C-alpha cells in the first residue's frame, strides 16, 4: 500500500490488484467503496476521518471479538481490552493484505451496532458482499457472541442480587444484635446467620463456629455461668410478671366488654318483644273494630229488611 504525505498528513492509497487479498468477497468490497484514511495524532479525529465499516471488516471484527471477548472484562479494564483488540485486529488484518486501522473505542462502538443489528435479525441484510460460507460463519459468530453477552449480563445481575441480599441480611443481623443487647434477652436460634450467605468470609464462618462452641461449652460450666443465668432469670421473671399483669388487665377489660354486650343484647331483645306485643295488641284491636263494624252493618240490614216488610204489608192492606 502506497502512502502520500501532504501537509503533515498521511494518506493511504488502496493497494493494487496484485496486493489485494485473493478472496473474491474482499475484491468486491474494495471495489465498491474507496478507502481513504487520514492519520492524525488525535484518536477521535482519526476515527472520524476513517471510512465506514465494510461487511468484510464487520466479519473480521466479530471473529476477533469472539476470540478475545473484551466485553467480559470489568469496567476498570474495558478500555485496555478494546485497545488490545484494536491492535490485534490491525495486525491480523495486515496479514491478509488490507489493514483495519481503528482505535479501541471505534471497535467497541461498531461492535455495539452490529450486536444490536443481530438482535434485530439484520445481520444478513448488512452483509451485502461475501460468500455464503463467510456470511454463515459471521452469523454464527454473532449468535455465539449474543449468547455470551446475555450470560455475562445474567451473571452480573445475579452477583448484584447476591450482594444486595448479603447487605440486607447483615443489616438485619446487626439490628437483631442491637435489639438483643438493649433487652438483655435473645433467642440465639432466631438470629440471622451471616455465615450461611454466599460469599461469606472465612472469618465470619470461623466466628460463627466459635460462638456455637462457646454456647455449647457454657452449659457445662455451671459455676462460671451462674451469675449470668441468674441475671437472665430475674429479667425473664420481671418480663413474665409484666406480661401476666397485662394479660389480667386485658382479660378483665374483655369481660367487661362482654358483659356490656350481653346487657345491650338483652335490651335489644326486650325491646323487640315489647314491640311485638304492641303490634299483636294493635292487630287484635283492629280485628275487634272490624267485627263490631260488621255487626252494626248486619243490624242495619236487618232493620231495613223489617221496615221493607212492614211497608209491603201496609200496601197490601190498602189494596184490599
* Judgement on whether residues 8 and 152 belong to the same structural domain of the protein: yes
Mean of pLDDT values over 64-93:
92
Would residue 229 count as lying in a domain? no
Which of 10-24, 70-84, 157-171, 229-243 is predicted with the least confidence, judged by mean pLDDT?
A: 10-24
What is each CA distance from 149 to 18, 84, 153, 211, 302, in whole angstroms? 40, 19, 6, 43, 114
Output the pLDDT for position 225.
Answer: 47
Is 310 a domain residue? no
- State whether 217 and 124 are in the same domain: no
In a domain, 275, yes or no: no
- Confidence class for position 217, pLDDT limits 50, 70, 90: low
Residue at 276 is within a domain: no
User: Do 127 and 202 reside in the same domain of the chain?
Assistant: no
Number of domains in the chain: 2
pLDDT at 116 over 90: yes
Burial 159-177 (b: 16+ CB within 10 A, else e): eeeeeeeeeebeeeeeeee
Residue 102, helix vs strand vs coil: coil
User: Is 265 within a domain?
Assistant: no
DSSP for 188-239 reads GGGS--GGGSTT--HHHHHHHHHHHHHHHHHTT-HHHHHHHHHHHHHHHHHH
Residue 230 counted as domain residue: no
What are the distances in angstroms from CA 108 to CA 39, 64, 78, 97? 20, 12, 10, 23
Q: Does the structure show a pLDDT above 70 at 58?
A: yes
* Residue finishing a domain among 144, 159, 174: 159
**296-318: per-residue pLDDT in tens?**
999 999 988 899 888 888 888 88
Contact, 126 vs 110, CB < 8 A? no
The answer, yes or no, to whether residue 142 has pLDDT greater than 90, is: yes
Q: Are residues 97 and 146 in the same domain?
A: yes
Are residues 150 and 32 part of one domain? yes
pLDDT-above-70 percentage for the chain = 66
* Same domain (yes/no): 63, 137: yes
- Based on the domain organization, do 68 and 108 belong to the same domain? yes
Query: Is position 282 within any domain?
Result: no
The model's confidence at residue 236, banded by pLDDT at 50, 70 and 90, is low
pLDDT, average across residues 280-294? 90
Give residue 199's domain range: 166-222
Q: Which residue has the higher pLDDT, 228 or 127?
A: 127
Q: Which of 59-63, 93-97, 156-160 has the lowest mean pLDDT?
A: 156-160
The sign one gets for the Cα dihedral 61, 120, 116, 144 is: negative
Domain boundary among 198, 222, 246: 222
Indicate the SS3 state at residue 121.
coil
Whole-angstrom CA distances from 1 to 49, 57, 99, 191, 263 are 18, 18, 10, 73, 110
- Tell whether 76 and 174 lie within a shared domain: no
Residue 119 predicted with pLDDT over 80: yes
Do residues 155 and 172 both lie within one domain? no
Are 30 and 137 found together in one domain?
Answer: yes
Q: Same domain, yes or no, for 130 and 177?
A: no
> 101 pLDDT exceeds 80?
yes
- What global pTM score does this model have? 0.40
- Same domain assignment for residues 49 and 74: yes
249 domain-assigned: no
More confident residue, 127 or 195: 127
Amino acid at each position: 500500500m502506497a502512502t502520500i504525505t501532504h501537509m503533515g498528513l498521511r494518506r493511504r492509497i488502496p493497494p493494487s490488484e496484485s496486493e489485494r487479498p485473493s478472496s473474491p468477497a474482499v475484491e468486491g468490497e474494495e471495489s465498491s467503496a474507496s478507502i481513504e484514511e487520514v492519520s492524525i495524532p488525535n484518536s477521535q479525529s482519526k476515527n472520524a476521518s476513517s471510512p465506514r465499516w465494510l461487511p468484510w471488516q464487520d466479519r473480521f471484527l466479530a471473529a476477533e471479538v469472539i476470540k478475545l471477548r473484551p466485553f467480559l472484562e470489568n469496567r476498570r479494564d474495558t478500555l485496555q481490552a478494546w485497545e488490545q483488540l484494536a491492535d490485534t485486529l490491525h495486525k491480523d488484518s495486515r496479514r491478509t493484505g488490507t489493514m483495519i486501522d481503528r482505535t479501541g473505542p471505534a471497535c467497541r462502538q461498531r461492535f455495539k451496532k452490529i450486536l444490536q443489528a443481530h438482535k434485530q435479525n439484520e445481520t444478513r441484510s448488512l452483509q451485502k458482499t461475501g460468500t455464503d460460507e463467510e456470511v454463515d460463519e459471521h452469523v454464527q459468530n454473532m449468535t455465539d457472541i449474543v449468547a455470551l453477552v446475555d450470560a455475562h449480563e445474567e451473571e452480573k445481575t445475579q452477583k448484584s442480587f447476591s450482594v444486595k441480599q448479603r447487605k440486607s441480611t447483615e443489616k438485619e443481623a446487626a439490628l437483631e444484635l442491637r435489639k438483643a443487647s438493649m433487652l438483655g434477652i435473645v433467642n440465639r436460634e432466631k438470629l440471622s446467620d451471616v455465615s450461611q450467605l454466599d460469599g461469606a468470609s472465612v472469618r465470619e464462618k470461623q466466628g460463627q463456629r466459635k460462638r456455637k462452641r462457646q454456647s455449647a461449652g457454657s452449659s457445662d460450666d455451671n459455676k462460671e455461668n451462674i451469675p449470668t443465668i441468674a441475671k437472665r432469670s430475674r429479667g425473664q421473671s420481671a418480663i413474665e410478671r409484666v406480661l401476666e399483669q397485662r394479660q389480667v388487665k386485658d382479660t378483665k377489660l374483655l369481660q367487661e366488654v362482654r358483659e356490656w354486650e350481653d346487657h345491650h343484647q338483652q335490651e335489644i331483645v326486650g325491646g323487640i318483644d315489647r314491640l311485638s306485643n304492641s303490634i299483636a295488641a294493635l292487630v287484635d284491636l283492629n280485628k275487634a273494630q272490624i267485627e263490631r263494624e260488621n255487626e252494626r252493618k248486619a243490624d242495619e240490614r236487618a232493620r231495613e229488611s223489617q221496615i221493607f216488610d212492614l211497608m209491603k204489608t201496609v200496601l197490601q192492606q190498602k189494596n184490599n
